Amino acid sequence: MTTTTKTATHEVIHPPATLRDKALSELPGPDRDPEALIARAQEAVERLAPSFDTWLRDDVAALREEVAAYAAAQRSAAAAEALRVRVQNLRGSCAQFGYPLAADVAGQFCLLLEDAEGRDADAEALLQFVDAIGSIVRGQVRDGSDLLAAELVRALRALSDRLRQA
């Protein structure tokens, strides 16, 4: 039963704990160990890992086409926002699939698009960001120990800062 406490400024509502009643149990046993459950689920995801690079490469290729189309068309604020959502999408994939440097580049790319709202984004610069993400994934650079990749990220961050201040 839902109980509600009212004050002058707000209500505090306690809905019934239906999910607790429905799906929480206290039944210990060898196959009920949460650690085993977690390990099983993680292993299931790790079985997909050989596909991660292919998925990312497909996403990068699709994004490259979208950036090129964006550059060729009239670059409205709505188009920049659609592209930003697409890049955020790729940023999430990079983070999920073990490419934090590529996620960092995608994050800088998004900042550039956010600031471009209502004005023209530099299409050539945008393509540089896409190419950098593609290079990091192709080179399987998964951390900052690759000096060339780290330098690339630094240079793109500087480019992003410069373009946003322009």
Under the binding rule (CB under 8 A), the answer on residue 165 touching other proteins is no
Residue with Cβ nearer other proteins (82 or 155): 82
Q: Considering only 7-15, 113-121, 140-148, 149-157, which stretch makes contact with other proteins by CB under 8 A? A: 7-15
Q: What is the DSSP string of 96-165?
A: HTT-HHHHHHHHHHHHHHHHTTTS---HHHHHHHHHHHHHHHHTT--STT-HHHHHHHHHHHHHHHHHHH
Under the binding rule (CB under 8 A), the answer on residue 34 touching other proteins is yes
Residues 137/127/65/149 CA torsion (nearest 10 deg): 0
Residue with Cβ nearer other proteins (54 or 151): 54
| Interacting residues with other proteins (CB under 8 A) | 3, 5, 7-15, 17, 19-20, 22-28, 32-35, 37-45, 48, 55, 59, 82, 85, 88-89, 91-93, 95-98, 103, 107
